[in-house]
Structure 1
């Protein structure tokens, strides 16, 4: 099916049913087409620039601050400002744009819900279209959900502020094509959420707010700024109506935080420590540097020097510019066992106390059951302040490139490697089955945590590292462990679930992306080929 729009064509590979027609109206498609035609060629150049930069790092260079942009870092300027409903973001919850999740998240004891079209959503066509309808209904206050037992879920008064996270620059929307190529998924998500909701959001004193993931350079931030300004002009809105928070979750971006804030200064309200993706990016970026191989995922915590430096630099940079510095994700899930739950909450509390005392303005949780504990931590530190923009960390010693790249100590254990295999395979199986947010072994796993699991093993094989028991990590060892751990998974999930699922396809994909000589950038790219 092909939609005609202002003389240029987007082609849709899916037929339009009643659901699609609610979202892909003629006017919405016309706006999407304008964005795709104007901004896709530059998006392609930005992705090519990522590849070129990575090739330099692969040849032995190390990331560093950019000398050409010293003037931006060393001059006095501030971002345009923060809307009143985003001044207090002490606890934010994240999750996919599924109907029940949207209601529960907006009703949770949090200030903001980040509705996610990215790492916690497997973007099948139905999920992406339904997600847009769910957010439209949430913005209009009409959203409700009835489960199979007849229980009704509805919005309470004063729900959390809504922010939509769009897909990263690298992710396509394969069901919509322009000139024979899949269009950028992020433009699809942005265009439809903005178009259907901006009037209602502004009418109720909020606005079209976005989270931008996986940014690698200030040029990418500048591209989004142009997208936002073009949109404001097209709909005759004042400059700065659209607001964004950028995740600093790639290693290259941590060296360009001032520049990212500067080039998005009309539209940006803050940066966020996307810690899990950041660890993944550290592995991926430095994949050829044998002296910077990370240990077991479980031992790479925020008090490791390279992660502590990242968090403190983000706070200092943001607050100097009047922008928010958001903390990272608590991925734990509350346990029904009282003793186990007390341990989970103690770990979460310690993690969030570190963030709050460092000066973060707020933080993320993946489960409503953590909201009260985390809210209590930030309430205690903030007192009667809405945020911590006054914490400038002016007396900190300058943070150097060497600190941000510092090798991380810790063991590589057999149990850690086996756990990585089980987590990654179970996550991949869920993702290709259409579920991007999965509880596994007491943690809410999304694409970022699965990425750490599989790239760690790739790196250990690539650099011929040994486990703490002396075993050399080889492709053969990995294949043997994969076979053994699949038996464990089969036992854990049960025969019925195992045979009804896509575990053998997941194991094959895990085997391919872990043993091939070239590291695949994102497991979601080959995974997307297996998704409806």
Structure 2
């Protein structure tokens, strides 16, 4: 199912820089972020690098077509010399050497303050999976980050008057830009929407690099959804051009890449090599990785995953992924970051203890494997995660780069693709439906980071849910109760679970929301003949339909 983004109408556009039209409404406070100078830099990057994005996306489609036809992913024979070569990345700045706990979240003002003040090493400010990129949130997010870098960010809750401001020693700030597949419909270059990734990168870099360097840190980025070393090469060219333009030392911009797609796990050495001047780490983006496993192997009936609750990091294909990432990174002098603890603390003492026990088990597995750090979604989990990594790393070291895993047997493509044991269950399918509907409803109404049933969910959650059910339908799988999973069974459950959600949330909240629209999109995606690449593509059309009409 191909979902094309419509080009916004130009009637309301404002041309501030030659070739650049701002379609989104211009609030007075946006003018400093969307200044002529900043937009001129956006235009420079767009003219040089935007034309390469469709080619990279076409490369994704071509590789997927080969997998659909039966050719399983594997390590590239043409880049064997890079994998076998003796080389290392350029280096890691002092303030990025100790990353034992990172917190992630969207670029909301209050969230930024709380995250930077959390007892963690790094805050990843997210323009991607935990942000529904409405025009206001994208621009306001840049304003918030500018103020955070300047140290002037403050927020007062209008409901209770509570005031928030930065502590004296905040966490290191890293900005995650959008993936290459996402457009920014509100800024056009030569009449076409720009890649959201270029917009996010350009605006954050331009407004903050001087202040960051003056403070002894730097312009640091997370790059999501990479699928190949050719995409990494594109980013390396963006960074090199930017550094040269602003008379910066090569390697001033530092980047961490998420390995959250199945194709990318076979090209980790190559990704590190292409970005060797700028890269400092790879990260196990495990929820998106599970989604990518489903999406990439969608035509292979022997690779169907069970309920997502059963797909844990101790499963062979995920354990191999984690261990290979650590071994690859440490061989090249890069850090190997672990995955997300998405649990939310509970006020009930017994439930809270159970939550913390789960976090400890998860983080002990990561630390024991050799990861240098991990992610949490809530400040209330930071101390627990930090305690685990402190036990493994200690106070004398910053990381676990000394763990080479050289004694491990080579990890093969067969291990990375190994089918996962488990069963599709009625309870799991119904949970998928309730979670996906609630998340999609939140996303298309402007909220990309949503607490649902004790977990802080982002887009990967809904992606796994709808892709799993699509795959079960396609390959005629049965539930644990013997029912054949069909489109009609799904539609019937969707109708039933909508009523459950209505009861749980209350009639007023349900009726005032966009649950019917969310359910319609969910049904279209899940019962389509072809598996859509990302639900956020059609979701973005809904999210932005008023501001670009």
TM class by shorter chain equals: over 0.9
Deviation per residue, 1:205-250 (Å, 9 max, x gap): 0000000000000000000000000000111111000000000000
**TM-score, length-scaled by structure 2:** 0.96
Which structure has more relative contact order (CA 8 Å, sep 6+)? It is 2
Instruction: Give 1:62's aligned residue.
Output: 72
- The number of residues matched between the two structures is 530
Name the SS for the 1:247 alignment partner: strand
Instruction: Give 1:175's aligned residue.
Output: 186
Name the SS for the 2:31 alignment partner: helix
Q: Work out which of the residue numbers 473, 476, 479 in structure 1 matches 2:485.
A: 473
**Separation in 2 of the partners of 1:294 and 1:420?**
13
- Is 2:183 the counterpart of 1:161? no
Q: Work out which of the residue numbers 242, 256, 259 in structure 2 matches 1:231.
A: 242
- Shift in Å, 1:302: 0.1
Superposition map of 1:68-467 within 5 A = 68-148=78-158, 149-383=160-394, 384-467=396-479
Gaps of 5+ in 1: none
Instruction: Give 1:519's aligned residue.
Output: 531
- Shift in Å, 1:4: 4.8
Q: Work out which of the residue numbers 488, 493, 508 in structure 1 matches 2:505.
A: 493
Deviation per residue, 1:303-348 (Å, 9 max, x gap): 0000000000000000000000000001100111110110011001
**Separation in 2 of the partners of 1:18 and 1:226?**
34
**Separation in 2 of the partners of 1:459 and 1:402?**
21
Deviation per residue, 1:122-160 (Å, 9 max, x gap): 000000000000000000000000002111000001100
- Shift in Å, 1:468: 1.1
**Separation in 2 of the partners of 1:502 and 1:92?**
33
**Separation in 2 of the partners of 1:103 and 1:351?**
27
**TM-score, length-scaled by structure 1:** 0.99
- Shift in Å, 1:22: 1.6
**Separation in 2 of the partners of 1:428 and 1:449?**
10
Contact 1:334/1:369 (<8 A) preserved: yes
Comparing 518-527 with 9-18, greater Cα deviation is found at 9-18
Contact 2:16/2:22 (<8 A) preserved: no
**Separation in 2 of the partners of 1:513 and 1:103?**
36
Gaps of 5+ in 2: 1-12, 545-549
- The alignment yields a C-alpha RMSD, in angstroms, of 0.7
**Separation in 1 of the partners of 2:21 and 2:36?**
13
Instruction: Give 1:39's aligned residue.
Output: 49
Name the SS for the 1:162 alignment partner: strand
Contact 1:2/1:9 (<8 A) preserved: no
Q: Which runs of 4+ in 1 moved over 6 A?
A: none
**Separation in 2 of the partners of 1:350 and 1:506?**
35
- Shift in Å, 1:20: 1.8
Name the SS for the 1:34 alignment partner: helix
